[in-house]
Chains A and B, each alone.
Chain A
Amino acid sequence: MTFDPRSVAGKTLDIASRTEVLVVGAGPAGLAAAKQAIDGGATVMLVDENPVAFETMGESVPQLWGGLMGGQIRNRNAMTERMLEARPELADLFETGVDIRLGTACWGLFVNHANLNWMPGSIAGLADADGGSQLIGFDQAIVATGRRDMGLAFHGWDQPGVGGISAAATLATLYAALEGKAAVVLGTTPETLLSVIDLVKAGVTIKAIVEQGDHPFADATLVARIEALGIPILTGETVRGAGFDTNGIHGIRLRDTEIACDSILLGLGAVPVIDLLQAAGVRTIFDGSRGGFVPVLGDSGSTTLANVRAAGDCAGIWGTKSADERVSRREGRIAADAALGALGKDVGSDQEPTMATIPDAALDIGYYRKQWVRTVLETLRDDVPVCQCEDVWAREILEVHPPRYLNAAAWVEPKSLTQLLGEGPPNPDQVKRLTRAGMGHCQGRRCREQVQAMLALQENLELGAVSLAVYRSPVRPLSLQDLSPAHEDPAMAEQWDSWFGMPRQWTPYWEIEKRYTVASLARETDHVTE
């Protein structure tokens, strides 16, 4: 058998260690999965990127932190302590032998499948707080990466003090390091109202909750709890801009009023964090009752990649699940049992209460998100970046403008989206490639869902008819030096000098033989490279 020496055949990767079960995310679902897996006799590695480095938070990764974090975040040891206090199960799991890695982000899952089949098994890329990255071999992965918030552009939304409500709740409860003390909240989804309750418990004053619709999105019971806290819900309202100066946010402008506040929290929809799954090649679909784009799930949280399962918020978000973390925990245990089964180990018995792991009511988050974007879109002027990283305005996205640094406005006619699309549905990746919206260092975390909604609005489509710009690894920004392997296979370097290395590809056309045969390669030519 001949192998092409320039191909991947025979090249190895630098795998630092192996685990049978890899759990990504140490929230309720991930913790329960790790416990179930270790109890079932598997070797288990549990990674969580919290505590996230201050600088990373500054880039809106992985949450819309929006400059809401206090300076104490810089003290990573203290933050790790805090996290262990907040999640005592971590210590228990450590005792039972789970390889726990905190402050460690999983930036890629790599699984052989059709037409990607050279890797020595399934691999995860991990990056730790000190910047080093390593590859870990795994047999089964359970992804429990949770949720983040959807962004919404308005004048001033790029100022520190405007962030996501889940991010704020994480800062308040996990880190005890939330800067804002008086917040106005946008949106009334169940997750938002539940976060409001957590924030109030943590001592934050919620001045008001703004809702563009005629009534709150969450059900009456939850709304009653908010009302009991004395927090006004202003329906039929929307945001017109933030008041800010060099000290940060000092208020929010609504249609007719202004409210003083030091932070504005976006709560128009908790988004399942599917970045890792999608970048690995897992198929995703829009499901309005599960919070947006979610992995296509089979039994036991299985995805379209056989050894990758999803549990908790990243598998779907809905009201009753958000209200009771036992649902996510059960998803974690079910996924772990399936992983144990796939490993040929005994599956433990599920002693804890059975919680339904299907959405309760069919709340359509798609329509709701579109409505929010609709209420701000008309007021977005040519100075409000929808994509903050690349500074792209709404009109530039909808008219598919080349980026401003090309100075092409003078000689290029603006196009309509329809001219770009022809008959097909809008493709956010195509729009991203041409306008650069979503191409920046936050990897589209702030604008991805907004751009999707804008395109759906423009083309008068349901939100789910428009895809999301795809995620690509590394799903966390990672420096060139940190991404580099510690020990590279010498075989890699030996064959790495130029494009494919085909002996006749770069031979000048005037020197090429009339007939090409493999046998003719025996004649050495002074073959050049590209």
Chain B
Amino acid sequence: MSRSEQAERLGEDERVAGASVVIIGGGVTGLSTAFWLADAGVDVLVLERGVAGWEASGRNGGGCTHPQSPLFNEEQRLWPMMDQILGYPTEFQPKRIRMALSPQQFELYSRSVRNSQQQGFEVDALDAKEVRDLVPLAGDTVYAGHLYHFGGHANPHRTVQAYAWALADRGGRLRQHVAVTGFTTAGDRVTGVQTDKGIFSCDHVLIAAGPQTGRLAGLLDVAIPLRTARAEMIVTEPLPLMPIGGTDGAGLYGRQTLRGNLAYGGGPHEWVETEEMPTANRPSTPLAGNIAQRVAQLFPKAAHAKVIRSWAGIIENTPDGRPVLDQPEPWANLTVATMSGVGFGLSPATGRALMQLIMHGQCDFADLSTLRLERFAELEPDWDALQGWLPREVAAV
């Protein structure tokens, strides 16, 4: 059955109230964009298959330091104001300490630092003793470190909900448990979003469906090269608060929460198939042990702390690991956004940029040209195999 036939069969009465802008995906990207649109007075509706933030947006490290991105300046400008802007706590905590346990690590982390310094952000190099003075849980294992006077981290769960509540406060809508299945179109316009709860009509559509962005855009013949991977994190019982919660390193990313838990991830990822309708609890694997080992190396004084949970999250990646924010041809009213593992921290800025793209067709505070799909115009068709990004099942065939 073709899309238009399907729409016909559903009939007019199945067309449910749409919105001027319909956003697919209630992760941080979709919700932040919806917030900024509602804040600008636009009638906006977010459709989320499960509950808000159930996927990567609620399972990440909470890091807000992305100096490689054209949205970096805006990321840094907005985070310290987000609690106030949204009216709900995100648990944002400024600053970051990155610890290196070896000269090699120090050299590696120094390169990233140069990147920020070039953009006028301040970083201090710290020797081992200075690190220990600032990081009470550190010990003899530390070689050196960096203190970032910018960046920081927030609580993903709280941030997701802060966007959602702030969206509602401004008259926007979030509908959870609505799964998008397709689109209705007319000429170069997407006229409606088909779901298991009926069709939502729209003047503009944003696909911000994380790993599903590729598949959904594919239904509109827009090709977004994506492969997904699973990554894991662990969390300990609460410990006394360190002065700077955003302390990581040794190959780990993560933070000490304001409650005191150490929440860290890192290590090898697994390339997996992109499920159409994921339902599982996403079990984690014994990699928790390897992560635990590194957290204990990073914070020898916390080696006794009990690990009380671990989890896994799914991350979609473009071939170069950089986001796609674009308005692909030939559509007149379609925007796509997929974040490739850096979407949480950037979300305040991404949302604001997407709001401008949707409303004005351009962003006035950042040059988004490097995030367009056209960079993949000459991409090898078997890029995923060439990069070794195929899931084991597929690779084995």
Residues of A within 8 A of B (CB): 1-9, 11, 13, 108, 110, 114-119, 123, 125, 133, 135, 278-281, 390, 402-403, 405-406, 408, 411-412, 415, 419-424, 427, 429-430, 433-434, 436, 439-441, 443, 470, 472-474, 477-481, 483-485, 488, 492, 495-500, 502, 504-509, 512-519, 526-530
Contacts and interface: CB of A to CB of B under 8 A. Distances in A.
A511 to B, nearest CB: 9
B91 interface: yes
Contacts of A8: 268-270, 287
Nearest to B275: A115
A218 to B, nearest CB: 34
A393 B310 CA distance: 25
A480 B305 contact: yes
A488 B386 contact: no
Contact of B87 (A115, A116, A412): A412
Nearest to B227: A4
A498 B108 contact: yes
A101 to B, nearest CB: 18
Contacts of A504: 320-322
Contact of A480 (B272, B302, B379): B302
A508 B117 CA distance: 12
Contacts of A507: 68
A274 to B, nearest CB: 12
B266 to A, nearest CB: 7
B189 to A, nearest CB: 28
A406 B321 contact: no
Contacts of B309: 439, 443, 472, 474
A496 B380 contact: no
A506 B68 contact: yes
A492 B289 CA distance: 12
B319 A516 contact: yes
A485 B89 contact: no
Nearest to B88: A412
A98 to B, nearest CB: 24
Contact of A403 (B114, B259, B304, B370): B259
B75 to A, nearest CB: 13
Contacts of B222: none
B377 A484 contact: no
B375 to A, nearest CB: 5
B307 to A, nearest CB: 5
Interface stretch (B17-25, B34-42, B121-129, B276-284): B276-284
A498 B268 contact: no
A184 B322 CA distance: 62
Chain B interface bracket (under 10, 10 to 19, 20 to 34, 35 or more): 35 or more
Contact of A117 (B378, B386, B391): B391
Given A116-B230, A279-B283, A423-B176, 13 more contacts: A8-B270, A279-B281, A281-B283, A402-B89, A439-B309, A472-B281, A485-B286, A496-B268, A500-B317, A504-B320, A504-B321, A512-B322, A512-B370
A514 B375 contact: yes
B306 A479 contact: yes
Interface in B91-108: 91, 104-105, 108
5 tightest CB-CB pairs across the interface, nearest first? A505-B321, A502-B321, A484-B293, A4-B388, A433-B157
B62 to A, nearest CB: 13
A505 B68 CA distance: 8
A116 to B, nearest CB: 6
B3 interface: no
Interface in B54-90: 58, 63, 65-70, 87-89
Contact of B177 (A118, A125, A423, A436): A423
A2 B308 contact: no
A505 B322 contact: yes
Contacts of B89: 402, 406, 408, 412
B14 interface: no
B383 interface: yes
Contact of B387 (A2, A420, A477, A485): A2
Contacts of B230: 115-116
A11 B287 CA distance: 10
B143 interface: no
A499 B237 contact: no
A492 B306 contact: no
Contact of B272 (A117, A278, A443): A117
B51 A424 contact: yes
B308 A440 contact: yes
A270 to B, nearest CB: 24
B294 A496 contact: yes
A434 B155 CA distance: 10
Q: Which of A115, A280, A415 has the most CB of B within 10 A?
A: A115
A183 to B, nearest CB: 30
Contacts of A497: 104-105, 108, 251
Interface string B333-346: 00000001110000
B8 to A, nearest CB: 27
Contacts of B380: 517-519
Contacts of A7: 229, 268-271, 388-389
A423 B47 CA distance: 12
B288 A516 contact: no
A423 B196 CA distance: 14
Nearest to B303: A481
9 contacts: A4-B271, A115-B391, A119-B286, A279-B281, A402-B88, A403-B259, A430-B52, A474-B288, A496-B267
Nearest to A279: B283
B176 A422 contact: yes
A440 B312 CA distance: 19
A516 B375 contact: yes
